[in-house]
Amino acid sequence: MNERDFLLALRELPLHPGAADLRDDTATLAGLTLTTDTIVEGIHFLPGDPPEDVAWKLLATNLSDLAAKGATPEGALLNYPLSDDAWDRAFLAGLDTALRQLACPLLGGDTVSLPSGAPRILTLTAIGRDAAAPPRSAARAGDALWVTGTIGDAGAGLAIEQGEDGPAELLAAYRRPQPRLAEGRALAPLVHAMMDVSDGLLIDAARMAGASGIAVAIDLAAVPLSDACRAFRGDGRAARMAAATAGDDYQLLFAAAPDFAPPVAATRIGDFAAGAGLTLADAGEAIPLPSRLGFEHAI
């Protein structure tokens, strides 16, 4: 089954009220925020990736979902496939660093053995507390669309990982994404809707608009690029389109009233209006949507 059909089928099962009909990246229970992600060797990471970076990314991407709810990490459960000594020890070293730097202690987990030759599949479940929990579905017509930080650095980093020449700073943005926990806590009580940018700015913005039942317009010229990304890719329309459709940014995308003054570094990139769908402009000139808005996933 594809993800969409599977998700639709899951919605027919007995659901907990805290599942919010499986329409968001997190669940809520007893004041806690729960999120879980599985990553697969050969799909989400490559066999040659440093195990330390795999550990970082596994924790950081889960914590990014907590950041989008304004939650503070409380603990994590790890489901781990045992393999060779060197890989496992390097993973543990990376996990130690990630748990310490991201202030999220380990709560428990499970280990398994895999059949010979099977790709590694790792799952982490993160639990947060004190969420203000803006949903992704409450953007309003008239709201402005904002994004924290810069967009496209991780996409450029992936190109560098795949062989292009480029600075370590961009590669690090891909391998060691930073969950925007402090920004999330500051923004969550103030904004109407928020989510993290994991699959691409355009696709995630379209999802926020779709979940909210309204339309969104983005101006590519407003999308914030880092100096390093501009030096790597240039600053033209193609470079901006590449940035806006690459995944793995883990910045926060949010909708707020038109007069909103964000308490953290963020850039206004568009507007919500009555209607449906995503429209694009470049410095005010309407341009067609690209054939691919980002990476397609379901829950």
Tell me which residues in 25-64 interact with a second copy (CB under 8 A). 26-27, 29-32, 34-44
> Stretches 92-100, 216-224, 249-257, 285-293: which one binds a second copy (CB under 8 A)?
92-100
Q: Beta strand 121-129 with 252-256: parallel, antiparallel or unpaired?
A: unpaired
Look at the chain and count its residues. Answer: 299
Interface residue with a second copy, options 77, 211, 281, 289 (CB under 8 A): 77
CA torsion, ordered 211, 124, 39, 136, to nearest 10 deg: 10
CA gap 42, 297 in Å, rounded: 16
Return the number of the residue (7 or 190) whose C-beta is nearest a second copy.
Answer: 7
Give the Cα separation of 82 and 239 in Å (integer).
41
Number of residues this chain uses to bind a second copy (CB under 8 A): 71
Residue with tokens 């409380």: 74
Residue closer to a second copy (CB basis): 1 or 286: 1
Residues within window 265-284 making contact with a second copy, judged by CB under 8 A: none
Cα 163–chain centre separation: 24
The residues, any chain, with a CB within 8 Å of residue 204's CB and separated by 6 or more, are 195, 196, 197, 198, 253, 294
Q: Which of residues 114-153 bind a second copy (CB under 8 A)?
A: 114-115, 118-119, 121, 123, 125, 127, 129
Residue range at the interface with a second copy (CB under 8 A); choices 78-86, 163-171, 197-205, 273-281: 78-86
Q: Which lies closer to a second copy via its Cβ, residue 127 or residue 171?
A: 127
Given 63, 99, 201, 252, the residue binding a second copy (CB under 8 A)? 99
Decide: is 211 part of the binding site for a second copy (CB under 8 A).
no
